């Protein structure tokens, strides 16, 4: 990335580290993976919001590799790629909204949906590897519902936090200082 200054690189590294730490503090952990944390997805979306899609994708990829190092669980190559390589890299779509009014919230919502789609596909890789869906559930709706349980709960909590005026003001201040 040609325009990656030391300041941007340091800011991205701090976001990755903070997101990794935040991911360790779960409100609730689901039995087959996934957890509700306080704002860990938001923290990894911030570089895309500040610097764009490419930087956001790079930060998401690094964060995914750190998640793999913290708690690796591999059942197949497709599951590894989906859960660790793509799951957080796709959150870079938040960068599309960086210049929009309420761009962080719009970008965060888009990023959450992108992550949910990849997590749903990863869930199908789990089922294909022999893990069973809930009794009577087809694998696709099962994976959609299971992943929605933790991803959208965390997203809803994060959006409530983002709507607090003091938080919005603090993030706008961070945006002004980071560029």
Q: Which of 39-43, 78-82, 126-130, 166-170 has the lowest mean pLDDT?
A: 126-130
Task: Name the DSSP class of 83.
Answer: I
- pTM of the full predicted structure? 0.92
pLDDT given for residue 51 in this prediction? 96
pLDDT given for residue 1 in this prediction? 60
Contact 125, 79 (CB under 8 A): yes
59 band by pLDDT with thresholds 50, 70 and 90:
very high
How many other C-beta atoms are found inside a 10 Å radius of the C-beta of residue 18?
15
Residues in Cβ contact with 28 at an 8 Å cutoff, skipping those fewer than 6 apart: 35, 36, 150, 153
6 token code pair? 């030391």
Residue count of the chain: 179
Q: What is the pLDDT of residues 122-158, one digit of tens each?
A: 999 888 777 777 777 888 999 999 999 999 999 999 9
């Amino acid at each position: 990335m040609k325009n990656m200054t030391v300041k941007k690189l340091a800011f991205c590294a701090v976001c990755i580290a903070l997101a990794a730490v935040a991911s360790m503090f779960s409100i609730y952990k689901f039995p087959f993976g996934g957890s509700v944390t306080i704002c860990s997805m938001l923290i990894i979306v911030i570089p895309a919001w500040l610097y764009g899609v490419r930087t956001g994708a790079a930060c998401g990829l690094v964060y995914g590799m750190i998640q793999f190092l913290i708690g690796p669980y591999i059942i197949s190559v497709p599951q590894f790629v989906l859960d660790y390589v793509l799951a957080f890299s796709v959150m870079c779509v938040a960068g599309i909204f960086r210049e929009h009014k309420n761009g962080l919230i719009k970008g965060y919502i888009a990023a959450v949906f992108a992550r949910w789609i990849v997590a749903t596909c990863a869930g199908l890789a789990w089922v294909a590897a022999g893990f069973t869906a809930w009794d009577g559930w087809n694998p696709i709706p099962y994976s959609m519902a299971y992943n929605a349980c933790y991803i959208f709960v965390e997203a809803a909590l994060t959006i409530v936090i983002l709507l607090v005026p003091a938080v919005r003001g603090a993030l706008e201040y961070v945006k002004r200082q980071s560029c």
